[in-house]
Structure 1
Amino acid sequence: MGVSSQAISVPYRGHGLQALWLGVVALVMVVVQAASAQARPDSLADLAEKISPSVVNITTSTVVAGQSGGAPIVPEGSPFEDFFREFQDQNRGDGDRPRRSSALGSGFVISEDGYIVTNDHVIKQADEIVIEFFSGEELTAKVIGTDPKTDIALLKVETDEPLNYVTFGDSDASRVGDWVLAMGNPLGQGFSVSAGIVSARNRSLSGSYDDYIQTDAAINRGNSGGPLFNMDGEVIGVNTAILSPNGGSIGIGFSMASNVVTRVVDQLKEFGETRRGWLGVSIQDVTADVAEALGLEDTAGVLVTDVPDGPAKKAGIVQGDVILSFDGVEVVDTRALVRQVGNTAVGKAVRVTIFRDGKTQTIKVTLGRREEAEAVRTAAPAPEEAEEPKEMLGLTLSPLTEELRGELQLPKTAMGLVVMDVDQTSEAFEKGLRAGDLITEAGQQKLENTGDLKARVDEALEAGRKSLLLLIRRGGEPRFVALSIRD
């Protein structure tokens, strides 16, 4: 009996532990479900009802010139060809007359006195802009200002009654996975709401100042210019573009971040145009091989590839400097620096920390205005003596002659070595050098002949370097390339 009692008691204790464990799991699931319920409301109806009166439909019309003739609307040889040709002949006179074209978009009111935000492409070249409010009322709007670089436009309507409006939120506070609500006029269907989450942040499409929020909330044609809301009813983005093979939503939409939009809107409201800061440098990211060639301990900052006449040149920044910080903020990459400079006030004196000749130094630069900037590039005189092409670093190089200058359409002041051929098995080919490129500097020193290049290679080897930094120009655009100099 004792043995039997012991045999029974062991599994009994096991069942007790199992029951306790199941209870803990159940409690955790209840807590998780409660937290999930708090994160996602049962319905978005209250939020949609609150913000809908501030969202508008936009209809634009443009007079376009008539076109006579035109491409056939049926394939050649079709049995309907004669019928359609007769139809075109009967109506040919109508095709010569100007006609009015309409387009649809969305927008939202940001002040009770009638300021409205939308996309620049929604109202571009429009002769008339009609705003339709949620109540059905229609008002004509005028353009206060536009910014094609961020695709933002600011409109204004005149009204005696205060309008419902929404406020901007902090787009930097939004996180991937946060719930969002998109509103607008998709495919001309009128006021419509779609929900989704923030799929990604800090997306760049094509512009220097891009900072897009990616969302899977349905965005279609006609949604352009409409707001993207967070769950507090704040605008954190302006719906601008979609990625789609068929023109419809596949769950990849892009909204310009509100922290970009607010700065643009403030300037458009005050000046009718944007006024961005301008440093006056061409730059590229610092890669690991470029950092090694320059003697940088870390892959940080951006490399200055050209310094036209402007604020940076006036302050003493030169080609080959590495900008490590701007106005007290560490420089991560070229995109970050361009955005930070653009967001800085015109005329502000900022401190720029650079790396040059193995040391860091700080230079004070007074920013100009990007919109007014005109880059004038200069270079040293051309070499006086010519020499035969030589092979170095996987490249066949020739000094710049008058004949080559003409073929490559280079200015008289250009100097350097012309790449005549590239060994396709070489590192130079792998890194993008091609025949017709002009190498103007090696080791941050000017080149006039292949002897200069050999001297720079020897100097780098003596300094223990594994690579040499070359400044390449193609079509007038400069970039740095680091090539290995050790076998």
Structure 2
Amino acid sequence: MKRITSLLVVAIFGGLITLGGYKLLFEKGRTSYTWNEDLPVFQTSNTPVSSAGAGINAVDFTTAAENTVNAVVHVKNLTVSKAAPSFLDFFYGSEGRQIPQVGTGSGVIISPDGYIVTNNHVIDRSTELKVTLNNNKSYDAELIGTDPNSDIALIKIEADRALPYLAFGDSDNTKVGEWVLAVGNPFNLTSTVTAGIVSAKARALGRSDQSFIQTDAAVNPGNSGGALVNTNGDLIGINTAITSQTGSYVGYSFAVPSNIAKKVVEDILEYGNVQKGMLGISAPRVNSPYAIENGLDEIEGVYVEGVEEESGADEAGLVEGDVIKQIDNIKIRRFADLTGYISTKRPGDEVQVTVERDGESLLLPVTLKERQSLIVPVMGLSVKNLTENDKKIYKVKKGVKITGVPEVYRKDGLELVGSVILEIDGQPIEDIQDARVEFGKITRYGKTVITLLNKKGERERVIFQ
């Protein structure tokens, strides 16, 4: 018993020595804090911070890339051009040598039976089209249809099996700052993936009214026609253009929104051409002297400068001076917002247009109509379809009315504005589509005879050479 007691005393004594040594040698003294109440107090946000970190570390691109690469193809376009005739060609009566040229780009498979969407400039003037899949299999392709205005074309291959494809997403839901992938097959090296964010939406380039998605994902020549997808792998755009003085990527690239591309493809398949619904208003360019002088460049929305007679906007009650603020659920801040959304609609579709008029907000339902005016090729005249009132005044049932003339013709003293074109080189003109086709046949080196009615109702023949 005494032995057990002795061991217990020794153990307790050893523990006290150990604890005292730790306190003396290792534990720091307590620190006391004092507060000076005269110091300023700063409040910071208590917004919780993501434990996963910020930026690209929180995004996984692998699934989107895996779902996309096999649906993106390489497109090769063979064209034939004539070389300039040499002295021997003139001597022997040859028409000149034909030189084959090869252009390349990318495309996106949009159906398992081989329909592929690409850019119009990728397949333009092609005499032969070839498509190479991501597995290096090659096929001859057929051109189904094209729309130069949106730079979208539809081609098709006949494969022996169902192909991987991408479904169109809703580009209206795309947000600025959202991560996206640009996938292309530029050098027939199988699909290549680059990442970036959406830099802007509804971006207009130059004088074009086309609306683009702007991104900083790297896109180079040969990527045209490739896919722009979000992190879910949804197709939200068709890569189309870059802005560069060198021809190479320098930070910005542009894609046709998927809603526009989808509508163009559906129109080509159903109608054989693109059906364009028109609102029927005109708006000043915000950077023009007139817009700046009148403060129109500071308006958030689209200022209605004019309303086309018998258009959907006219029938719905839009007037000059209205400011379009919204269409359906799409906010309108600039003209490209308006044209981009209208490009997804067809004649006969109804849209809800919110306008600001004299400080009040009005909701006007507008039924879109077919295009009633255009600028014809080659000569550049502005023409429009005849209204019922025009037909009564001129006592005609067919023709197109000239509404604008290039400066070169005004200098010659020709009073063409207000006249009605009846025939071009003997071909009767019924509407603006006939005018577009017949003016498109004109060459700058031939003679063109236009039969028209002047503002006095007199029939005239004007010869252009």
- TM range, smaller chain: 0.5 to 0.7
Q: Which residue is equivalent to 1:341?
A: 342
Q: Which residue is equivalent to 1:25?
A: none
Same amino acid, percent of matched pairs:
32
Letter in 2 for 1:144: I
Take 2:356 and 2:56, find their aligned partners in 1: how far apart are those partners? Answer: 53
Take 2:155 and 2:279, find their aligned partners in 1: how far apart are those partners? Answer: 30
**Deviation at residue 66 of structure 1 after TM alignment:** 2.4
**Deviation at residue 412 of structure 1 after TM alignment:** 7.6
Contact 1:171–1:236 at 8 Å: present in 2 too? yes
Deviations 1:56-86 (A, max 9, x none): 100011121221249xxxxxxxxxxxxxxxx
Q: Which residue is equivalent to 2:58?
A: 39
Q: Which residue is equivalent to 1:184?
A: 184
Distance 1:337 1:101, change over 3 A: same
Residues matched between the structures, number? 341
**Deviation at residue 115 of structure 1 after TM alignment:** 0.9
Take 1:179 and 1:236, find their aligned partners in 2: how far apart are those partners? Answer: 12
Letter in 2 for 1:124: D
**Deviation at residue 113 of structure 1 after TM alignment:** 0.9
Q: Which residue is equivalent to 1:245?
A: 245
**Deviation at residue 167 of structure 1 after TM alignment:** 2.0
Q: Secondary structure at the match of 2:126?
A: coil
**Deviation at residue 350 of structure 1 after TM alignment:** 5.1
Q: Which residue is equivalent to 1:220?
A: 220
1:264 aligns with 2:264: yes
Contact 2:312–2:369 at 8 Å: present in 1 too? no
**Deviation at residue 327 of structure 1 after TM alignment:** 5.7
User: What are the within-5 Å matches in structure 2 for residues 62-461 of structure 1?
Assistant: 62-69=79-86, 96-186=96-186, 188-202=187-201, 203-206=203-206, 207-215=208-216, 217-284=217-284, 290=294, 299=299, 301-312=301-312, 315=315, 320-324=320-324, 331-349=332-350, 365-370=366-371, 374-375=383-384, 411=415
Letter in 2 for 1:375: K
Take 1:322 and 1:66, find their aligned partners in 2: how far apart are those partners? Answer: 55
Distance 1:13 1:282, change over 3 A: same
Q: Secondary structure at the match of 1:260?
A: helix
Distance 1:362 1:278, change over 3 A: same
Q: Which has the larger displacement, 113-122 or 262-271?
A: 262-271
**Deviation at residue 198 of structure 1 after TM alignment:** 1.0
Take 2:356 and 2:174, find their aligned partners in 1: how far apart are those partners? Answer: 35
Contact 1:308–1:377 at 8 Å: present in 2 too? no
Distance 1:283 1:115, change over 3 A: same
Contact 1:184–1:190 at 8 Å: present in 2 too? no
Letter in 2 for 1:347: G
TM-score, normalised to structure 2, is: 0.61
Take 1:253 and 1:195, find their aligned partners in 2: how far apart are those partners? Answer: 12
Larger Rg: 2
Distance 1:122 1:320, change over 3 A: same
Take 1:219 and 1:406, find their aligned partners in 2: how far apart are those partners? Answer: 44
Contact 1:326–1:350 at 8 Å: present in 2 too? no
1:52 aligns with 2:69: yes
Q: Which residue is equivalent to 1:421?
A: none
Q: Which residue is equivalent to 1:80?
A: none
Contact 2:113–2:158 at 8 Å: present in 1 too? yes
Q: Which has the larger displacement, 224-233 or 29-38?
A: 29-38
Distance 1:239 1:340, change over 3 A: closer
Question: Where do 5+ consecutive residues of structure 2 fail to align?
Answer: 1-26, 35-46, 375-382, 388-408, 419-465
Letter in 2 for 1:339: G
Take 1:193 and 1:406, find their aligned partners in 2: how far apart are those partners? Answer: 53
Take 2:274 and 2:154, find their aligned partners in 1: how far apart are those partners? Answer: 11
Take 2:338 and 2:245, find their aligned partners in 1: how far apart are those partners? Answer: 33
Contact 2:180–2:230 at 8 Å: present in 1 too? yes
**Deviation at residue 116 of structure 1 after TM alignment:** 0.6
**Deviation at residue 197 of structure 1 after TM alignment:** 1.5
Take 1:14 and 1:359, find their aligned partners in 2: how far apart are those partners? Answer: 61
**Deviation at residue 31 of structure 1 after TM alignment:** 5.6
Q: Which residue is equivalent to 1:12?
A: 31
Root-mean-square deviation (CA, aligned residues, Å) is 4.2
Take 2:238 and 2:185, find their aligned partners in 1: how far apart are those partners? Answer: 13
**Deviation at residue 96 of structure 1 after TM alignment:** 1.8
Deviations 1:207-236 (A, max 9, x none): 313122322x32111111011222222222
Contact 1:281–1:312 at 8 Å: present in 2 too? no
Contact 1:111–1:163 at 8 Å: present in 2 too? yes
Contact 2:322–2:357 at 8 Å: present in 1 too? yes
Contact 1:282–1:304 at 8 Å: present in 2 too? yes
Take 1:369 and 1:360, find their aligned partners in 2: how far apart are those partners? Answer: 27
Letter in 2 for 1:57: H
Contact 1:276–1:346 at 8 Å: present in 2 too? yes
**Deviation at residue 302 of structure 1 after TM alignment:** 3.6
Letter in 1 for 2:185: N
Take 2:372 and 2:132, find their aligned partners in 1: how far apart are those partners? Answer: 34
Letter in 2 for 1:142: E
Q: Which residue is equivalent to 1:390?
A: none
Letter in 1 for 2:59: R
Q: Secondary structure at the match of 2:265?
A: helix
**Deviation at residue 275 of structure 1 after TM alignment:** 0.9
Distance 1:410 1:190, change over 3 A: same
Take 2:140 and 2:168, find their aligned partners in 1: how far apart are those partners? Answer: 24
Deviations 1:252-279 (A, max 9, x none): 2222222332222222232232112112
Take 1:288 and 1:371, find their aligned partners in 2: how far apart are those partners? Answer: 29
